[in-house]
Structure 1
Amino acid sequence: MKYHFHFFITLVFFGSLLAKDVSAIKIKDVDGKMFTMADHLDNDAIIILFWATWCLPCQKEFPAIQNLIDKYPDKKVKVLAISKDTPRSLAKVKSFIRKHDYDFTWLMDSDGSVSANYMVDVIPHSILADASGKIVYTHTGYRIGDELELEKELLQLWQE
């Protein structure tokens, strides 16, 4: 019984430490400039995509997300693509960005601190947040059609 109580207390404590919003994100972009999420909370929604250049499902997710945000031009959706690539792979990240025309903000989480804060162990990993930065939906992995669930969540968010 004592073990169960300690386990429960530990779960409650660590659960309260998990990030529940994205407004505190401070991270460098691919050019080394500091990006502060609190300065970008003037959107109807925020989508965060954790990815890496070696992650093929991540690369398949990007056009689906771009098509999704293009479908709602009257909505202001901020998409943050946070790369988990190492600093040594920065040239690959920049090359990938140049080859594609996605309307994303490209950020680097080379030290893994942002990923750790949001418990991102597996990529692709997506987070949807409302205009205040509160997380309303998360998803790990990507298969064709997963963007339909994200769209459903977006529409529900915009109705609130």
Structure 2
Amino acid sequence: MRKFLVSLFFAVICATGVMNAQLPSVTLKDINGKTVQTDTLSNGGKPFIIDFFATWCKPCNRELTAISEVYEDWVAETGVKLFAVSIDQAQNINKVRPLVDQHGWPYEVLLDPNGDFKRALGIQMIPYVIVCDGKGNIVYKHNGYTEGAEAELIEKVRELIK
């Protein structure tokens, strides 16, 4: 029983540490070819969202489209910013911009063709969403998408600006 309690204690401590972890430092490019360091992603002291997607991932596309329908309101209310990170491999990178343009997604789009950023965060499945506070601390993670899940996402952001 004691070993179980000690293990539980360390699991809780580790989980708490992970949820307040900083973003790892990975070099990516944005959709326009500009180099971006992931550990410097920020939103002027306001919360931001990182949403991992791929052009071939239908749930990812539904999630980013659903968010885009309310994104303007979110920005007006909370000042939140969303970074959409494509994990499409190098041979499919040319499909990212047409998809973004087709849907009119207003996000800053980053490219992770080698999966370095995804791997550094331990992400296994997409869609995968991370919410960071104004200091860049990871405060919430979620994978998968079901209709209406964006309501939970904005609630997490609202909690950060109280």
**In which range does the TM-score fall when normalised by the shorter chain?**
0.7 to 0.9
Query: Identity percentage over the alignment?
Result: 29
> 67-76 vs 43-52, which deviates more?
67-76
5+ long unaligned stretches in structure 1: none
The separation in 1 between residues aligned to 2:17 and 2:103, in whole angstroms, is 38
Is contact 1:27-1:107 (8 Å) kept?
A: yes
Q: Counterparts in 2 of 1:17-56, with a 5 A limit?
A: 20-22=21-23, 24-37=25-38, 38=40, 40-56=42-58
1:25 CA drift (Å): 4.9
Q: Which contiguous aligned blocks of 4+ residues in structure 1 show a shift greater than 3 angstroms? A: 15-19, 23-26
1:126-153 CA-partner distances (Å, limit 9, x unpaired)? 0000111011111000000111111211
Deviation at 1:40, TM superposition (A): 3.3
User: What does 1:1-160 correspond to in 2, within 5 Å?
Assistant: 20-22=21-23, 24-37=25-38, 38=40, 40-72=42-74, 73-159=76-162
More divergent stretch after superposition (40-49 vs 82-91): 40-49
Distance in 2 between residues matched to 1:100 and 1:52, nearest whole Å: 14
Please, what TM-score do these two structures have when normalized by structure 2? 0.81
Aligned residue pairs: how many? Answer: 156
Unaligned segments of structure 2, at least 5 residues: 1-5
**Residue 67 of structure 1, CA deviation:** 3.0
- Residues 1:150 and 1:119: Cα distance change in structure 2 (over 3 Å): same
Counterpart contact for 2:19–2:139, Cα < 8 Å: no
- TM-score, with structure 1 as normaliser: 0.82
After the TM superposition, which of the residue ranges 118-127 and 63-72 deviates more from structure 2? Answer: 63-72
Q: Is the 8 A contact 2:78 2:161 kept in 1?
A: no
Q: 1:18 to 1:134 in 2, by over 3 A?
A: closer
Maintained 8 Å contact 1:23/1:41: no
Counterparts of 2:44 and 2:69, CA distance in 1: 21
Once the 2 structures are TM-superposed, how far is the Cα of residue 109 of structure 1 from its aligned partner?
0.6
* Inter-CA distance 153–74: structure 2 relative to 1 (3 Å threshold): closer
Contact map agreement 1:68 1:151 (CA 8 A) in 2: no
Write the letter of the residue equivalent to 2:116: S
Evaluate the alpha carbon distance shift between residue 153 and residue 17 of structure 1 in structure 2; reply closer, same or farther with a 3 A threshold. Answer: closer
When residues 157 and 17 of structure 1 are mapped into structure 2, their CA distance, relative to the original with a 3 A threshold, is: closer
